[in-house]
Chain A
Amino acid sequence: MEKVRIGFYALTSCYGCQLQFAMMDEIVQLLDKANIECWFMVDRDSDEEREVDIAFIEGSVSTQEEIELIKKIREKAKIVIAVGSCAIHGGVQSWGKDKELEELWKTVYGDGRVKFEPKMAEPVENYIKVDYKLYGCPPEKKDFLYALGTFLIGSWPEDIDYPVCVECRLNGNPCILIEKGEPCLGPLTTAGCDARCPSFNIACIGCRGAVGYGVAWFDSLAREFKKKGLTKEEILERMRIFNAHNPKLEEMINKVFEEGE
């Protein structure tokens, strides 16, 4: 069998996604079946110019160079996988669009005349077609295994279309939202982490991003939070951490606060 050619590319990120991937015990077995064409973290002999079968992209698109890079990757790759919340949703660095970039830049670097052209952090999908997504900040190891294993046998992995609550109920955790009144984002967040944080007795902050397919009901959850006394700003702020680019978010929350009592 021909070896599968793999590339792992990092945009603006914390390197957590690739670290998670690189450190799996199973990776050793995988290495027999794959050729790493480009992965700077693990292989000195890496080259972005090479063609690959599967391209993993981590990080948000935050500089002009990164836009060029992902376009090149798209041309050279058969399958493009966006890995993690940064690549899929722009990540935590997607500071709300209400803050002016110029101003941010000045605040941080003053008149230091740093010669780079910064831009707003964006999801990879804003620039190129993405074939599959590995949710999470970072994704769970089993996410990688499942996707890669499925691709390696020539099949296509399934997307996750249900929320964290499903797994949380299956685990039999007490519900933090209902019993402790804490703002858990489990009801609108993509499952797959086995309700990790609620199992640690901590409200989900939504690191896997809102469920797709138009079933992330920001409004009904916001209504719950509102009943518990959270302000509109607090709700938006919390839901935005991993969903800054979601087109539905603000609209739905606004609706809830226009409804009155």
Chain B
Amino acid sequence: MVTITIGEFTRVEGNGEADIIIENGEVKEVKLKIVEGPRFFELLTLGRYYYDVPDLEARICAICYLSHSVASVLGIERAFNVEVPREVMLLRELGLLGEFLESHALHLYLLVAPDVFGYPDAIKMASKHGELVKEGLSIKAFGNYIREVIGGREIHGINVKPGGFGRYPTIEELEKIEQNSEALLRFAKRAVNVFADLKFYGAKAEHFVATNSYLYGDKLIACDEEVFDYYEHIEEKTLPYSFAKQSKYKGDIFMVGALPRVMLKSEQLTPLAKKLFEDHREKLSQGYVSLNNLAQAIELVYALEKAKEIARELLDKGLSCENVPVEVQEGEGIGYVEAPRGVLIHHYKIDSKGNISYSNIITPTALNHAIMELSLYEEAKKNYGSLDEKTFVQRLEETVRAFDPCISCSVHLVKL
């Protein structure tokens, strides 16, 4: 038996490894390992007063901190039966769109594009494709700008609170968001062309899972038309070789992320994004995980169109800047958010004093662990023996990257 280990994946946010186990000249098994220390976020919040919890949990991940804050806030508000007005929800959506822009741009332009054009990294790619890198960076910077305005900081801001915000955006900021969304749209359209040409690789998931609204939800949906709460059909188990747990939907391997989103929720896309989706529908329906990249590019278009739409609506109606009072009561609530990488779940029980008595966080990378492993297995099987070892390893790295995994986020799931 031989084992090929792919060491720290480069250009992936976090420390992951994969063991490719070869027996009698054939790929027998692939083990995807998450090797960095767990941070026990659920336990950190146990017994803690609810108010600081969203800020603490933002620290799970820098790339999608706002998704964590919003999921946490939604879970807490549901536990307390707090209803926030449309204005607050729109601003939260705007923040989440900023996060899509930031995260998808980082992933597509800096991590995936070098694979597409055959460069070891974005810095080296920039010498030939400087324009493209610049376009990506400007989309990313704009996403970060939105995160700063809505979230309070580009990374780990603490402006999103149960009941509303510390500070509401100014008219100038909303106008700037509207204008920049419009201006950047042509870059995003170009991205769709660039990433439409990607090869197919990785596995096909048996199921797609997403939240019921485009950016968040009160239930999950799946491609078999099930509408459900996560604990009804998603089961997790621990693995002997990894800090992350593995999940199955009704016992099968499933996928969350941009591809499941556009496939399950194309009706909710904005006009141009919808059109681009229709143009590529046939291709996307093939279901290979590498198509996640194309779906992300379409979502860049969606995010810009939608951000513009929201900014305009808020400008037309004017902001009332009023938070809803939060009254502490005993309760239970789940927040479902579409983080850039897919479904993110924060589930809490809160006691009558406002302290957290139960907490469960399930992240998209954890939900995708099984399909990621399967994809590696299939790619390894297909290519072992026919590619030299260096190219072989490179191909597997590309496969992992298609998921846009964020390994730091995958080690934070717990059942208490």
Contact = CB atoms under 8 A, between A and B. Distances in A.
Interface in A188-239: 196-197, 199-202, 205, 207, 234, 237-238
Given A93-B44, A196-B153, A202-B158, A16 B65 contact: yes
A137 interface: yes
Interface stretch (A36-44, A126-134, A150-158, A249-257): A36-44
Given A108-B414, A138-B156, A121 B39 contact: yes
B56 A241 contact: yes
A202 B153 CA distance: 12
Contacts of B240: 112-115
B4 interface: no
A115 B239 CA distance: 9
Given A44-B120, A46-B10, A115-B240, A107 B414 contact: yes
Interface string B156-200: 111101000011000000000000000000000000000000000
Interface stretch (B11-19, B210-218, B309-317): B11-19
Contacts of A116: 35, 243
B8 interface: yes
- Most chain A CB neighbours (cut-off 10 Å) among B36, B39, B237, B408: B39
B329 to A, nearest CB: 19
A65 B7 CA distance: 14
B140 to A, nearest CB: 7
B20 interface: no
Interface string A95-127: 100010000100111101111101101000000
Contact of A112 (B15, B56, B238): B238
Given A40-B8, A205-B52, A118 B37 contact: yes
Report, as a range, how many residues of chain A touch the other chain. 35 or more
Interface string B8-44: 1011011100000000000000000001111111111
Interface string B116-152: 0000111100000000000000001100100000001
A261 to B, nearest CB: 23
A236 to B, nearest CB: 11
A170 interface: no
Contact of A95 (B37, B44, B144): B44
B40 A93 contact: yes
Interface residues of B, number: 56
Contacts of B59: 14, 16, 91-92, 137
Given A16-B155, A19-B63, A114-B240, A200 B10 contact: no
B49 A200 contact: no
A12 B13 contact: no
A65 B237 CA distance: 25
A63 B243 CA distance: 12
B233 interface: no
Nearest to A193: B153
Given A110-B238, A114-B238, A115-B240, A16 B62 contact: yes
Contacts of A17: 62
B48 interface: yes
Nearest to A86: B59
Interface of B: 8, 10-11, 13-15, 35-44, 48-49, 52, 55-56, 59-63, 65, 120-123, 140-141, 144, 152-159, 161, 166-167, 237-243, 245, 408, 414, 416
Top 9 A-B pairs, shortest CB-CB distance: A112-B238, A16-B62, A62-B37, A202-B166, A93-B39, A12-B37, A44-B120, A201-B166, A200-B167
Interface of A: 10-17, 19-20, 23, 25, 31, 40-46, 60, 62-63, 65-66, 91-93, 95, 99, 104, 107-110, 112-116, 118-119, 121, 137-138, 196-197, 199-202, 205, 207, 234, 237-238, 241
7 contacts: A16-B65, A45-B120, A110-B238, A119-B37, A137-B59, A200-B157, A202-B158
